[in-house]
Amino acid sequence: MLRELKGDLAAGASAEERVASLFEKIKKSKLNAYNILSEDSALKRAREFDKAPWGGLMAGVPIAIKSSISTRGIETNCSSRILSGYVPPYDAHVIDQLKEEGAIIIGKTNMDEFAMGTSTETSYFGPTRNPWDTDRVPGGSSGGSAAAVAAGEAPCALGSDTGGSIRCPASFCGIVGLKPTYGLVSRYGLVSYANSLEQIGPLTANVEDAALVMEVIAGHDPQDSTSVNSDGGYISGLGDGVEGLVCGVPKEYFGEGVDPLVEKAVWDAISKLVELGASWKEVSLPHTKYALAAYYIIAMSEASSNLARFDGLRYGLRLGTDQDWHTTFSEIRAAGFGSEVKRRILLGTYALSAGYYGRYYLKALKVRTLIKQDFERVLAAGGADILVTPTMPFPAFKIGERIEDPLSLYMADVFTVPINLAGVPAISVPCGFAGGLPIGLQIIGRHFDEIGVLRTAKAYEDATPYHEAVPKEVV
Amino acid sequence: MAEKDVIIGLEVHVQLNKLNSKLFCGCSTDYHDSPPNTHTCPVCLGLPGTLPVVNKRAVEYAIRVALALNCDIQGETLFYRKNYYYPDLPKAFQITQYDFPLGLGGHILIKGEDGEEKTIRITRVHMEEDPGRLVHAGTIDRAKYSMVDYNRCGMPLLEVVTEPDLRSPKEARSFLDKLRNILEYLDVFDGNLEGAMRIDSNISLVGGERAEVKNISSHKGVEKALAYEITRQRSARRRGVAQVQETRHYDELRSITVSIRTKEEAHDYRYFPEPDLVPMRIADWVPRVEAELPELPDAKRERFVAEYGIADDHAKSLTSEIRVANFYEDVAKRAPPRLAAVWIADVLKGELNYRDVTIDKFSPDHMVEILGMLEKRTITEKGAVEVIRIILDTGGDPSEVVEAGGLAKAEDDAVKEAVFAAVAECSQAVADYRSGNEKAINFIVGMVMKKTRGRADPGEANRLVKEALEEI
Ligand SMILES: [Zn+2]
């Protein structure tokens, strides 16, 4: 898709027209995929491009950015009331990279408040709707980015993935979403939810586009001490196929709680990979059952600390009822955060408290090590080259169906959070439909083997039609 | 006075203010004379999405200090978050160290209460970032509002924690003086900048709970606060009131301490490892930092005794401040070292101290010149002291001062004239001397000194008077 778009632009198509038609579509849309549109700056940049086209991997390509990624001069509110009106004075590293490669930022997409959710229903600005069925959620937390790409309201988007926040909405919306290896993409400028787990990654219409975005955003950034070098090669490795590839199928990712239609679609995908020259074998990741508990303790603990800075003193919400600082901070935080964010701050604060730290946080870190070792063991030389699982246990659910039951929502992340705990890369690609709703196939690789993940996904995509399907209502 | 039942431990926060940039961002540390909030960036303001990056030079400086305090440098060190709310803390957590601090188990020598050298153990040395600063409109209790200045926010701090080895306020002062001395030797610290050193003191009487007196910025303040605490805790004990574990504030104006919270109200800082920074393997850095370590006060003192043949007391006095030591060495290369030691340690330091100025106010060239005049006996000792005082008070260089003040030693002829005149005028004293009262000569010499307005050398005058009396 991006290849065609770039080809059109290079052949003289007007970037301004393309960008303007996107805004037209977005404004008519009922999906609520965007919080903020940067129409003036995007059109201006598109006009400049038309006048004197520049080069770069993303030359003239419009892109939507999740509302948790800082953009200089464009409001970055994390879909929270407390950050409404906050305009960063600096660009995230990935934004620097995108601009350098010629991309045009069209707006900031809706998300679960501070990325805390699996449905984009916790946004202060209302839920985003799934383009395949507007009564249903798009997944989350990068639901706005996924819905925008699925509905053609953006050719590609950035999201962030702390426990599945790119892969879940990619799966629910029938598009491609990649969570890179921890450290491959700089987090500088990503408003932290759980620093030790999250990565920025692409949400795109196909695998090649995901590889292209990765070429742009991956690599060491001196502003992020946890980031590492990238050798690139994501695009050039795409055509290498899956001949001789060993696919591990973790038994813990099938069975109870998984929609049979999802299971069937994933097994069909495994058969397809075998047809293409790969083999498969069952593997075991025995600590999977502890992953959700460990994940939520770590994520909430880090979040309780990360979100403490939002007090209205320097930026964000101010109520105009200033008293002593203590009262004022409390009132602003009480009014500024939604209930899911408050729940996670409270639980995280509790887990880090004196006397509980060892029982919860330290124990969760130990579980995390065990889970990481699970992955390293099955993906060691002589074992599997990649793992294949469902991305989500079920397709998109109805808006309001689960929001009152946080535990059942947390359970939805069961196949995505272990990947963040282990730090390995994983992609979700469309692999079929259940009752007209997209199903996602999750392909997991070794640390820093994005190339292996992408080429497997590409081989599968080339052999199947699912990525070409477009939601009816938006055709 | 050292009292056996007094137990004091210190936590000293030292700004590594000789670094160029802050601990986790590129902002300049040179903010002291700048308008508020002009030395800030997204990182030290804790804007959403920003990440800290460790200033490697700061870690080197910290290792330098830990080595100089004889600590064991840990193989791997990491940062933690200390979570609490306060308007001067923009991230609502301070990046500091907790488990796995940079250095553990050191010690330094101080002069104890009994005058003997005493070892004070150092529990740990760790790095952390400084918060910003609140500026109140008016006084803190009457201010309608406060403003926050984040210029200081993110300044590299070292925390040095002692074991409870100190036994008196004076020993605490002595420890702080020695620590400052070492830090200045290491060239990591300028103690003259505002807020450069801030001290929390833990003090208890044997058998009692301890009080922590927080955030005192002068060594003298610490001494006073501790003295106040000893008196307060003793009198409480006499009245049968038990000391509870508490945090107290030192009111500098009233020289008293005031309780701000008890143990029950203590914060739970919810420490956990900072996920945005990776552990640092600093063991590998140690050999290089060690090789670059400058000579420390105790070593310099020993060398001065050996190299310049000066008294140990003088060597100690000269090395108690790096600037004085450098001044001395500069002078001693160009003037007789022993004479220089006496004049710098005994005279110049006293005059500086009296005026509360540092040695930067006096030029080593001038000292060399003055010592040269003394050596050639063109001024008297009294005259030399006068020259030093005039230079400190009104400036000028030694030869000018000597000339303008008529401080040159009187010429021999003038002294001789004065001697003849004195002998002629003091007939009673002359008679007494002749009749065997040798002490009578002092009266005549006194008269000579008076006539020459002190410019005669007293020994010389004595000799000339004797000669004159013999001739008569
Ligand atoms: Zn800064």
Q: Could you list the pLDDT tens digit for every one of the 472 residues in chain B?
A: 557 899 999 999 999 999 999 999 999 999 999 999 999 999 999 999 999 999 999 999 999 999 999 999 999 999 999 999 999 999 999 999 999 999 999 999 998 888 888 999 999 999 999 999 998 877 666 778 889 999 999 999 999 999 999 999 999 999 999 999 999 999 999 998 988 999 999 999 999 999 999 999 999 999 999 999 999 999 999 999 998 999 999 988 888 999 988 877 778 999 999 999 999 999 999 999 999 999 999 999 999 999 999 999 999 999 988 999 999 999 999 999 999 999 999 999 999 999 999 999 999 999 999 999 988 888 888 889 989 999 999 988 998 888 887 767 666 667 777 888 888 888 888 888 888 888 888 888 888 888 887 778 888 888 888 888 877 6
**Residue B137 to chain A, least CA–CA distance (Å):** 14
The predicted model gives A85-114 an average pLDDT of 98
Residue from A29, A38, A66, A142 carrying the catalytic annotation: A66
**Residue A289 to chain B, least CA–CA distance (Å):** 24
Q: Which value, to the nearest 10 degrees, does the dihedral of the CA atoms of residues B406, B408, B411, B412 take? A: 130
Architecture of the domain spanning A2-248+383-468 = Alpha-Beta Complex (3.90)
Interface check B136 vs A, CB under 8 A: no
Q: What is the largest CA-CA distance in chain A?
A: 69
What gap in Å lies between CA A460 and CA A278, rounded to an integer? 11
What gap in Å lies between CA B445 and CA B459, rounded to an integer? 9
Best mutation site among A77, A113, A188, A315 for testing chain B: the one with the most B CBs within 10 Å?
A188
Please give the ipTM for the structure prediction.
0.96
The predicted model gives A125-151 an average pLDDT of 97
What gap in Å lies between CA B197 and CA B225, rounded to an integer? 16
Q: Where are the domains of chain B?
A: 6-289, 297-405, 412-471
What gap in Å lies between CA B173 and CA B221, rounded to an integer? 9
Q: Which residues pair with B166 in a beta bridge?
A: B8
Interface check B169 vs A, CB under 8 A: no
The CB-side HSE value for B87 (13 A sphere, CA atoms) comes to 20
The predicted model gives A196-220 an average pLDDT of 98
Supply φ then ψ for residue B13, to 5 degrees. Answer: -100, 120
Parallel, antiparallel or unpaired: strands A199-204 and A437-444: unpaired
- Is the model's pLDDT at A186 over the cut of 50? yes
The predicted model gives A304-312 an average pLDDT of 97
pLDDT reported for residue B112: 86
Q: Are B85 and A311 in contact (CB under 8 A)?
A: yes
Chain centroid, CA B57 distance in Å: 25
- The pTM assigned to this predicted structure is 0.89
- Closest by Cα among A114, A68, A62 to A92: A68
Amino acid at B54: V
**Residue of chain A whose Cα is closest to the Cα of B90:** A309
Interface check B279 vs A, CB under 8 A: no
**Residue of chain B whose Cα is closest to the Cα of A351:** B270
CA of A91 from ligand 1 middle (Å) equals 16
Q: Where are the domains of chain A?
A: 2-248+383-468
Parallel, antiparallel or unpaired: strands A426-434 and A176-179: antiparallel
Please list, in sequence order, all residues whose beta carbon lies within 8 angstroms of the beta carbon of residue A212, skipping any fewer than 6 positions away.
A2, A3, A57, A58, A204, A234, A235
- Closest by Cα among B334, B335, B323 to B297: B323
Confidence band (pLDDT; 50, 70, 90) for A408?
A: confident
Amino acid at B299: A
Average pLDDT, chain A: 96
Whether residue A226 and residue B272 make contact (CB cut-off 8 A), yes or no, is: no
Of A69, A309, A329, nearest to B90 by CB-CB distance is A309
Write down the residue that tokens 């005669």 correspond to.
B456
Q: Which value, to the nearest 10 degrees, does the dihedral of the CA atoms of residues A205, A208, A209, A211 take? A: 130
Any idea what the Cα angle at residue B464 is, between residues B463 and B468, rounded to 5°?
A: 120
Residue from A165, A171, A230, A428 carrying the catalytic annotation: A165
> Quick check: is A398 catalytic?
no
Interface check B206 vs A, CB under 8 A: no
Give pLDDT tens digits for A348-386. Answer: 999 999 889 999 999 999 999 999 999 999 999 889 999
pLDDT reported for residue A444: 98
Q: Are B23 and B158 in contact (CB under 8 A)?
A: no
Q: Considering only residues A236 and B376, tell me which one the structure prediction assigns the higher pLDDT.
A: A236
Any idea what the Cα angle at residue B200 is, between residues B198 and B203, rounded to 5°?
A: 150
Chain A residues touching chain B at CB-CB below 8 Å: 68-70, 76, 78, 83, 86, 88-90, 92, 187-192, 194-196, 222-226, 301-302, 304-305, 308-311, 313-315, 325-326, 329, 349, 352-354, 357, 361
Best mutation site among B270, B271, B274, B281 for testing chain A: the one with the most A CBs within 10 Å?
B270
- Is the model's pLDDT at A475 over the cut of 60? no
pLDDT reported for residue B43: 98
Whether residue A187 and residue B53 make contact (CB cut-off 8 A), yes or no, is: no
**Residue A426 to chain B, least CA–CA distance (Å):** 22
- Is the model's pLDDT at A161 over the cut of 80? yes
Whether residue B49 and residue A309 make contact (CB cut-off 8 A), yes or no, is: no
What gap in Å lies between CA B203 and CA B206, rounded to an integer? 10
pLDDT reported for residue B410: 63
Pick the CATH number of B412-471 from 1.10.760.10, 3.10.20.340, 1.10.10.410, 3.40.630.30: 1.10.10.410
pLDDT reported for residue A473: 63
The DSSP output letter for A83 is: G
Contact residues, chain B, for A198 at CB < 8 Å: none
What gap in Å lies between CA A169 and CA A428, rounded to an integer? 9
